[in-house]
Amino acid sequence: MKYKYLFATIAVLLALLAVTSTIVLVSWLAKGPVTEEKPKSPGQKIATTSPSPDMAPMTPLPDFSPVLTDDAPAPWINEKPEIVFESLSRAAAKLGSGPEAHEFGNFGPGVAGLDPYLRSDGPTYHVVPGGLKQKAMPYSDREYEILQLPATLDGLTLVQTRNGHKGVTDPRFSIVLTVEKPAYLFLAIDERMVRIWQRDGAPDWVKDFSPTGYRIVTDDPTMHELRPYRIVTKKVEAGEVRLGPPWNQFQRVPAYSMYFVFLGSGRPKP
């Protein structure tokens, strides 16, 4: 009798184990394994069930997104730009010098599926008069294209930057522009980068910009769920304009996108 109950108990446990295993297997099959599909052409989205951070093989950059509320302190000193956006037109500017004067490294993608987005030809930094448009490429080393652009910013002067410089913390890094007349300088900043700045502090050179409330969206496959670029601006006088690195020295650097730049001529608010 004693063995009869023992065998019955074992049979029940085995039955429960079989049911549990079946449920787990069915759930896994329904979800599907984590896979990454290599895009067949630039502009095609990468289908993936997990984030694929854009990071260099020799310089790993973790992709972490801090959860911050809208009440987190903004990195900008000025709250609103004093500009009539409807008056904007392209500004005349030239590239004085790029950051090639020093070796800053190239934070390229280590994910094979991003290879079609890479560009190796042409200048590292380039001024494109009237180049800010839909389908334009904001980076000189990536095939990413602009998908969504506010109409008031269309046709402004684009400064293509290098996305591979997104992890630079060296204070010697600089982009020097020469502006012929007073103009408004705009930065398009990865929204995830802004959140890190809110938490850890922004580079000093960006703090005197003002948020515009505008957003730009690209087809960068590492920016999941169409995360936008926030647009900030400040007025600059004729002459030399210098931009700095995206991060503070010794700051923990995630695998986000480099800022890009554009300029416009316009009138201030009365």
Residue range 133-160, pLDDT digits in tens? 999 999 998 889 999 999 999 999 999 9
> DSSP for 5-54?
HHHHHHHHHHHHHHHHHHHHHHHHHHH----BPPPSSTTPPPPBSS----
At 250 the pLDDT is 74
Claim to verify: residue 119 and residue 22 sit in the same structural domain: no
Q: Is residue 28 part of a domain?
A: yes
Q: Is residue 236 part of a domain?
A: yes
Q: How many domains does the chain have?
A: 2
> Which bin fits 249, alpha (ψ -120 to 50), beta or left (φ > 0)?
beta
Q: Is residue 76 part of a domain?
A: no
Q: Is residue 220 part of a domain?
A: yes
Number of neighbouring beta carbons within 10 Å of residue 183: 25
Distance in angstroms (rounded) separating the CA atoms of residues 38 and 41: 9
At 30 the pLDDT is 44
Distance in angstroms (rounded) separating the CA atoms of residues 253 and 64: 10
Strand order through the sheet with 175-179 = 93-97, 175-179, 239-243
Claim to verify: residue 247 and residue 151 sit in the same structural domain: yes
Claim to verify: residue 128 and residue 206 sit in the same structural domain: yes
Mean pLDDT, consecutive 10-residue segments, the chain of 270 residues?
Answer: 58 62 48 35 36 36 45 72 91 87 63 68 83 96 93 97 89 94 96 87 92 93 79 96 90 81 93
At 59 the pLDDT is 41
Claim to verify: residue 153 and residue 215 sit in the same structural domain: yes
At 23 the pLDDT is 53
Claim to verify: residue 24 and residue 89 sit in the same structural domain: no
Q: Is residue 241 part of a domain?
A: yes
Two tokens, residue 252 = 């923990």
At 225 the pLDDT is 66
Question: 215: domain range?
Answer: 85-265
Are 201 and 248 in contact, with CB atoms under 8 Å apart?
yes
Q: Is residue 258 part of a domain?
A: yes
- 206-236 burial, b for 16+ CB within 10 Å, e for fewer? beebbbbebbbebbbbbbeeebbbbbbbbeb
At 24 the pLDDT is 45
Claim to verify: residue 250 and residue 133 sit in the same structural domain: yes
At 69 the pLDDT is 47
Claim to verify: residue 134 and residue 210 sit in the same structural domain: yes
Claim to verify: residue 17 and residue 106 sit in the same structural domain: no
Claim to verify: residue 143 and residue 11 sit in the same structural domain: no
